[in-house]
Amino acid sequence: MSLIKSVSVGNGDMFYINHGTSNFTIIDCCLCSDNKDKIIEEIETLSAGKNIIRFISTSMDNDHIRGLKELDDNLGLLNFYVVKNEAKKNDDNEDFKRYTSLMNSDKAYYISKGCKRKYMNESGEKTGSSGINILWPITDNKHFKEALQIAKDGGSPNNISPIFTYTLTDCVKVMWLGDLEFDFMEKIRNEIDFPEVDILFAPHHGRESGKIPTVLLEKMMPKLIVIGEAPSEFLNYYSPYNTITQNSAGDIIFNCYDNKVDVFASSKSYSIPHLTDNKLSNDHNAYYKGTLYTNR
């Protein structure tokens, strides 16, 4: 059993996975004065006693690292997973400085396609695997090198985002694509063996600019696409796929076990009709919205 939470943070991204093993994974960070104390306390409580706490960074844009300094000051991040880069930013704020410091420290682990690491995707003596596998970047790929150079020159870092999956054996497969853009995904679509997935977090917060090409959606055949938080006029709603829109749902919680995922959301009124209603009680300080069967 494991629990995945997509945290409602406004226009930004933040997730965590409370693994059934002694792993705890945080993906991105977007904290502000209104939510930071609550979110940090929640993560501190849930990760207490875990042997491995890792942070996976998909982007150094502010909507993915806001509050990173404060999160690191509280948790003392020892495992910082990041695509190695030399990105430049005009808004050289404290969070970007902390991002750069962590990336260039001995706490950093540079991720790339197929990389292996104990506890990330290999079991250790006392701590099992977290089930996280990196599909991208391929560091010698010409398109990736071009994206690295653009970021180094002060341009958009969107296309140096990693692609990775989380798999809970015999239960669920979930994918993240950071802030990748449509045109870039078109360029690399034949460079990666995209697997079928159950839950897909739409890149670039679900924006039209990050729309996943149809040919890739046909390969992945997602049972559920989560559209992140961004102004509604910029979103792509991925018709005819089954979706959850975080702008309306609020916090989204996926409780994963056996071959099913119970879905909860902090919005009481939000409904997800394409899920199976098993009449479960509300839990996790959220409202039960239905169950997704994965048949894995």
pLDDT digits (tens, 9 = 90+) for 172-223: 999 999 999 999 999 999 999 999 999 999 999 999 999 999 999 999 999 9
Closest CA to 9 of 50, 59, 66: 66
- The larger pLDDT score, comparing residue 124 to residue 272, is at 272
Confidence label for 33 from pLDDT (cuts 50, 70 and 90): confident
Average pLDDT over all residues of the chain? 96
User: Cis omega before residue 162 (within 30°)?
Assistant: no
Q: Report pTM.
A: 0.97
Percentages (nearest 5) of helix, strand, coil residues in the chain: 25, 25, 45
The pLDDT value given to residue 125 = 76
In terms of C-beta density within 10 A (0-12 exposed, 13-18 middle, 19 or more buried), how is residue 217 classed? middle
How far apart, in whole angstroms, are the C-alpha atoms of residue 12 and residue 22? 27
Gyration radius from the chain CA atoms:
18
Overall average pLDDT of the 261-276 stretch? 97
- The pLDDT of residue 60 is above 70: yes
CA distances (Å), origin 184, targets 142, 155, 193, 282: 12, 15, 16, 40
CATH code for residues 2-293: 3.60.15.10
Residue 38 and residue 71 in contact, taking contact as beta carbons nearer than 8 Å: no
How far apart, in whole angstroms, are the C-alpha atoms of residue 205 and residue 279? 30
The pLDDT value given to residue 90 = 77
Residue 127 and residue 133 in contact, taking contact as beta carbons nearer than 8 Å: no
**Which residues lie below 8 Å from residue 214, measured CB to CB, with a gap of 6+?**
none
Confidence label for 296 from pLDDT (cuts 50, 70 and 90): low
Q: Six-digit token pair at 236?
A: 């792509």
The pLDDT value given to residue 50 = 94
Overall average pLDDT of the 159-166 stretch? 98
**Which residues lie below 8 Å from residue 257, measured CB to CB, with a gap of 6+?**
1, 2, 171
